[in-house]
Amino acid sequence: MYIIKLITHLIGIGALLLSSLSADQYLIQSSADFLSLPTLSAGDEVVILAGDYDSVDVVLQFNGTASNPAKVYASTAGTVQFTGSTRLILDGQYGIVAGLSFTDQAGPLQKEGIIKFEEHSRNITLHNCQFLDCNNSAVTDANWLFIEGYHHEVSRCSFEGKTSLNATVFIKPTEEDEVTTTREHRLVYCYFGPRTELGDNGYEAIRVSDSSRQAYEMQCDISYNYFYQAISGDASEMEVISNKSRGNRYRGNLLEDCDGQITLRHGRDCIVEENYIIGTGSSRESGIRVIGSGHIIRNNYIKEVNGTGLRSALCIMDGEYGRTDNQYEGVENTLVEGNVIVNCSLSLNMGENKGYDDPPINTVLVHNKIYNENGETLLAVEADATFAMVQGNEFYTSNVSIGDDLSALAGGYEIVSDLEPSTPFTPVLLPETASELTGHDFSQLMHTVPETIERGSETDIEVSSAEVSLAVEANAGEYLNVYVTDGDGEWTLFSPSQRATSSGVQHVEISREELLAQEVITDGTRAFYVVEVADSDHHEESPVEPPLPPEDVFVESGGVVVIEAEAYHASADNGDSTSWSTVNDEVSYQTTTSGSVAVWESAAELSYQVQFTTPGTYYIHPRFRALTSSDDSFFFGANGTLVGQVNTGISSEWTWDNNETETLVIDTAGVYTIQIRRREAGLELDQFILTTDAGASY
């Protein structure tokens, strides 16, 4: 007896939508046709034919499912233009709206936006839509996109040319629920382009809640968006992103030439990490401003923003502890870790005062790098600011004033003679490549990769040249196999079998480049993948023999065992900010791409089961690449205990490290769990050898 669970997905290569086998399809050819639409059930499709649709005011009611959402989309993305005063209200659950265009002949019918997600709606996606100069409206303070409800996603949309007050995108908590009810919206891979200077406050690109609702637990994910001149000119508004709620994450965004910042204006417990903020030297440009308690400001890269005061590269303000009105709450218990600040007029400003005198307290300031060669002040630290920890910070100056008396930093810094101002992470978006997001590219795929793919769901994903990690629920002992087809031929086993050693989310990888190389697909075709989750009985009957059967382990013989890094038995983040991932290049290897220097107890891990038959002392020899001294080490352990730190040295080519002195003592024969954990990000590990020969070289 065996169990098979199939999880089917579309790799959207040239395909926009999954078709439904048993659902209704509706064609829209005129504005009036929208009014006759019924509630859309699972798998229903509304296809909007090319043309102009004037003064549309409609509620799109969805009743889809997670595995089979209802869909509303342009027959050809970008050919459906809305004109006049427009309002699309998205209500219900599990729907997708895609491929629509709102340009200079359109405008919002009401203050709550051209598109509004209704307050009780859930799990609706707005994808691949264009909002360009859509200001044809008598409403002078309207949003363009207004989001209430729960678990919505906005992806691959563009917003450019807004001339009216109010935020372009406003995410508002539904107020009938408790403040602790999470909303968990995602806004990813969107473009926010130039908008008209208004000389007034109140026109952020994104606002997450507002002052009166700052206690709401939103837990939104605002990631990998590109903001270009999203605020510009002599404007009073300084918040490109305005956080006014709790538990949100702002990750991997690029702000370029914006006269504004990421502002944690109200709320608590937010994460701002791996953002890339690039200025042009304007005195109105700035980086990140912090108000409230429990925030994490980690691994951000801020360069050439010349604002000071509230517009400093990193501004941590004075306030009043516990304040909950529209003023400034005091800053408590903030983690500031691993940030790199380069050539900014005032790099770190702790204690900027705007009428309230409680200083920042219990700040953890660790492993930050501040670099300046332009003759500006590095730091302004208020005398009564307090720190829970100051450690490992590096300051580089060239004819530059450090700033205030730094006795409050308790010696947790070093003034260095040279500092490489490199990013502490690998930016997803770079200025030289982010232009791909400008304007609007209607060929974009249906979905970005979801963080978790639920068993049994159908999901469109983007597969790029980089490897994509798919997260699948499985029980301990079950097997994961990835099969792929182009829709015409047989299913092909693409990924070797992987066994779940513990219950929970398991990660399998898929790569468009590999699919093409193996001729599983041809460029321009649609392709589907299936993740098969099966028990051991079924696996034994499988015609495909995996390289590492679950009963098997790496076997030491004659005092030597060779371990392929990508053939791990299990992985774990251990609370780390990153995880190991597999890259298929000329060889397959493991790497991590982000994170400051880690410690053994909380570092991302790969584990390998090894059968030792020869007791003795074993030496480790890794085959690696490491481009800089900031990515040339990792931790090595066994059965959960640290053995030592491996320092590989630097090499741009695949190289064996034959000089390691760290040793593992195997007292008795048996199966041991060998662990590799991240220390620095960026190390590339192809394989490693454990040997009892102290003089061995490879």
Which of 145-159, 419-433, 500-514, 592-606 comes out lowest in average pLDDT? 500-514
Residues 6+ apart with CB under 8 A from 210: 172, 244
In this prediction, residue 2 carries a pLDDT of 27
Backbone angles phi, psi at 489, to 5 degrees: -105, -165
Which of 215-229, 436-450, 594-608 comes out lowest in average pLDDT? 436-450
Asked if residues 580 and 603 have their Cβ atoms less than 8 Å apart, the reply is: no
Structure tokens at 169: 């995108």
Structure tokens at 35: 């009014």
Eight-state DSSP code of residue 329: B
* pLDDT tens for each residue of 386-395: 999 999 999 9
β-strand partners of 61: 91
Closest CA to 625 of 541, 546, 683: 683
423 or 398, higher pLDDT:
423
* pLDDT tens for each residue of 49-59: 989 999 999 99
Three-state SS across 52-102?
Answer: EEECCEEEEEEECCCCCCEEEEECCCCCEEEEEEEEEEEEEEEEEEECEEE
Residue range 312-337: mean pLDDT, rounded: 92
* Banded pLDDT at 501 (limits 50, 70, 90): low
Asked if residues 351 and 319 have their Cβ atoms less than 8 Å apart, the reply is: no
Structure tokens at 440: 């609007």
Asked if residues 151 and 181 have their Cβ atoms less than 8 Å apart, the reply is: no
Backbone angles phi, psi at 101, to 5 degrees: -130, 130
Residue type, 241: I
Domain positions in the chain are: 1-18+458-551, 25-274+427-448, 284-426, 554-691
Longest dimension (CA), the chain: 82
* pLDDT tens for each residue of 26-37: 999 999 999 999
Q: What is the DSSP string of 17-37?
A: -PPPSS--EEEE-SGGGGGG-
Domain 25-274+427-448, CATH class in plain words: mainly beta
Which of 44-48, 400-404, 611-615 comes out lowest in average pLDDT? 400-404
Q: What is the DSSP string of 258-311?
A: -S-EEEEEE-SS-EEES-EEE--S-TT---EEE-SBS-EEES-EEES----GGG
Closest CA to 367 of 577, 223, 221, 590: 577
Residue range 570-575: mean pLDDT, rounded: 85
Residue type, 670: G
In this prediction, residue 539 carries a pLDDT of 35
Q: From CA 57, how far away is CA 188, in angstroms rounded?
A: 27
Q: From CA 266, how far away is CA 328, in angstroms rounded?
A: 8
Domain 554-691, CATH class in plain words: mainly beta
In this prediction, residue 217 carries a pLDDT of 92
What spatial distance separates the first Cα and last Cα of the chain, rounded to whole Å?
47
Q: Which long-range contacts does 491-500 make (Cβ < 8 Å, 24+ apart)?
A: 491/530, 492/518, 492/520, 493/544, 494/518, 494/520, 494/529, 496/546, 496/547, 496/548, 497/539, 497/542, 497/544, 497/546, 497/547, 497/548, 497/549, 499/548, 499/550, 499/569, 500/474, 500/475, 500/476
Residue range 670-674: mean pLDDT, rounded: 88
Structure tokens at 394: 């590096």
* Banded pLDDT at 661 (limits 50, 70, 90): confident
8 or 205, higher pLDDT:
205
β-strand partners of 534: 4, 479
Query: Which residue has tokens 């049994």?
Result: 456
Q: Is residue 154 within a helix (H) or strand (E), and if so which, with residue range? A: strand 153-155
Burial bucket for residue 261 (CB in 10 Å: 0-12, 13-18, 19+): buried
In this prediction, residue 16 carries a pLDDT of 22
- Compute the radius of gyration of the chain from its Cα atoms: 27
Q: From CA 637, how far away is CA 645, in angstroms rounded?
A: 9
In this prediction, residue 486 carries a pLDDT of 55
Share of the chain above pLDDT 90, in %: 45
Asked if residues 78 and 102 have their Cβ atoms less than 8 Å apart, the reply is: no
β-strand partners of 297: 272, 336
Residue 653 has pLDDT above 80, yes or no: yes
Per-residue buried b or exposed e for 447-483, using 16+ beta carbons within 10 Å of the residue's own CB: bbbbeebeeebbbbbbbeeebbebbbbbeeebbbbbb
Structure tokens at 494: 């693409």
Cα separation values, 421 from 377, 381, 394, 597, Å = 17, 22, 11, 16
Q: From CA 315, how far away is CA 289, in angstroms rounded?
A: 5
Give the mean pLDDT of the chain. Answer: 82
Q: From CA 197, how far away is CA 210, in angstroms rounded?
A: 22
Q: Residues 249, 254, 257, CA angle at the centre, nearest 5°?
A: 130
Cα separation values, 2 from 496, 501, 534, 626, Å = 20, 18, 7, 45
Q: Which long-range contacts does 385-391 make (Cβ < 8 Å, 24+ apart)?
A: 385/350, 385/351, 385/359, 385/360, 385/361, 386/359, 386/360, 386/361, 386/362, 387/362, 387/363, 387/412, 388/333, 388/362, 388/363, 388/364, 389/364, 389/365, 390/364, 390/365, 390/366, 391/365, 391/366, 391/367
* Banded pLDDT at 458 (limits 50, 70, 90): very low
Q: From CA 580, how far away is CA 685, in angstroms rounded?
A: 10
* pLDDT tens for each residue of 239-284: 999 999 999 999 999 999 998 999 999 999 999 999 999 998 888 8
Q: What is the DSSP string of 552-578?
A: --EE-BTTEEEEETT--SEEE-TT-S-
Structure tokens at 45: 């499709």
Per-residue buried b or exposed e for 603-618, using 16+ beta carbons within 10 Å of the residue's own CB: bbbbbbbbebeeeeeb
* Helix boundaries (H) for 536-673: 536-541
Asked if residues 115 and 83 have their Cβ atoms less than 8 Å apart, the reply is: no
* pLDDT tens for each residue of 300-323: 999 999 999 999 999 999 999 988
Burial bucket for residue 47 (CB in 10 Å: 0-12, 13-18, 19+): middle
